[in-house]
Structure 1
Amino acid sequence: MVLLRELDGAKDYPLVIHPVGSDWERQVRAYYTRADGTLNIDGYYSEMFGFTIKSSDFESGTSDSDSDSSGNDSDCVIISSSEFSSINPNNRSLIVADSVATISTSIKISSRFTTYEFVSTFRQAVRVSGEGGENRVVIDTVAVGEFVTTVNEQEPHYFYMYTHVLQTLHLWLPFNSFECQLLRVMNVAPCQLHPNSWAFFKAFQVACEGLDLVPTAGVFFCFFHVKNVSPHSLISISSQPNKGRFSLYASNFKIYRDTFVRFRCGEGFSEPMFDVSGNRLFPFYWSSSPRLIKGTRTSTLNEYERLAVSALS
């Protein structure tokens, strides 16, 4: 049903019916249990038994749905290298359209994670970090009336992330270097990306791992581009024309918007948000100026990246 399941050898999504009481079944049940304790039967069985997802189930006709359509690249320019930090050495190759976006207040969907009990239930069912880090990643509740565009100017800093995206795509905290690099060069917070864009990140990494390649932003944007930087919607990534490598991830991603929580560093564990020098690994809060990256100048890639592009082509 989903390409990611084929790429990773179905390690996390075995093509079998999971018995009631198994770890997978408990995770699925926890997610599809409503706040009033009732179970969303349709969603539960769709996830458990892999019922076919029809094209009509996609979020269509909205500005934040992903597709393989491309926009007009006539206004593309090479972004100045001075606009990137020294920890992103290959960002000079990216082609960026002159576009400025501002934050809109129209994204006003509240989170369901407003109580400690709900967060605790999620943590019992789903791991969010690797070995040794689970107990040091702090997940806080979200206040009623708090939205993903909220910016916190005080310590401690945190970032929002959709639990459904972490759970479904098996993303772990801290984000790896490639994921942090893409967030930096796009200048977006984790919650600002459409789930299908995260799925493209994940699929690209799985493909590179299988081919023994090191993924970089320059190589990634040879095959993908930022579709839109609309001020009132999530940022979407699409395949470059005639360079599609993966199908869209179709797994109930239209019910994720109320699943965001606050993530922050536990005591003595700064890795999820800061590097060894104390610099932010990525934008924590909703960005007013995401970069509309339209591709890569292949002539500026180093030899290794050019070979990686050739292998993936």
Structure 2
Amino acid sequence: MRTLSYRQQGLLLTGGGALIMSPDALLIKLADLPDAEILMWRGFLSALGFLLIVLVRHGRNTLAAYRRCGGTGIAVALLFSLTTCGFVLGNQYTMAGNVLLILATSPLIAAGLSWLILKERLPRHTWVAIWICLAGIAMIVIDDIDAGSWVGNAFAFLAAFTLALNFTLCRTRPGVDMSPMLTFNGLIVGSGASLVLLLGDGIALPAPNQLAVLGLLCLVIVPCGVTLLQRGPLYLPAAEVGLLLLLEVVVGTFLAWWIIAEQPTPLAILGGCLVLMTLVVKGLYERRLERRAVGEGVVKAPETN
């Protein structure tokens, strides 16, 4: 990583996190558990995964890593708890493609919040890329958009808004890694869901095949993928982090089609290719701009903690 430029590190971390998270919506569907149960297991198991990652990364400095996040870190944990609930419940009440499409609006929301809170101005090519990518995502799910539940769509929008606000808040503390606070996100979600279960029919152990899906999703995919995504705002503007999340949208939708043996329409294939090509062209163009800036001696990467 040290041989890469500051921006390249951000692109690698964020893009890698988005790709790791791409099976998320599919595995939620395959787990086939009631709302509160999947939220409880996802919360507690992912909290364990996040904690293990923090311990491996920071060792004896683990407590210092948590303290460094401060009040902003608490807000990040609460916001990501709402993102988790919105994403999971959205997938429970509507199609995965609809949830992913609505989640794709997070870069636009992040751009507005960054302008409002941080006074950040995005270059014109980033805005163009955002709109092209949203057009591509619309092509992917246009056949299913009328079948979506209003409840599921509302939960998905909650996930998109809180995710954008989360990344924007992270930009208010430059150089501070907020990913350790994801542990508390898992505990908040798991505790709330378990309380609902205890007040209802009680907690039951899922079937072995469901536990296997939950283990893969909550102990591996979510902790690794989200940790990388949460570090994205250390390197990139919040809107550009959201833009790279569109990789999860495209790959996740194609994975769902592949696993459940549904044939994507030509329009959907065109939309996915449009998104991927836009991200590639944008990356190459910004790499060219970065090389020019380095040659002029105007690029300097801040310290990260």
- TM-score, normalisation: structure 1: 0.28
Structure scoring higher RCO (CA < 8 A, sep ≥ 6) equals 2
Bigger proportion of residues as helix: 2
Bigger proportion of residues as strand: 1
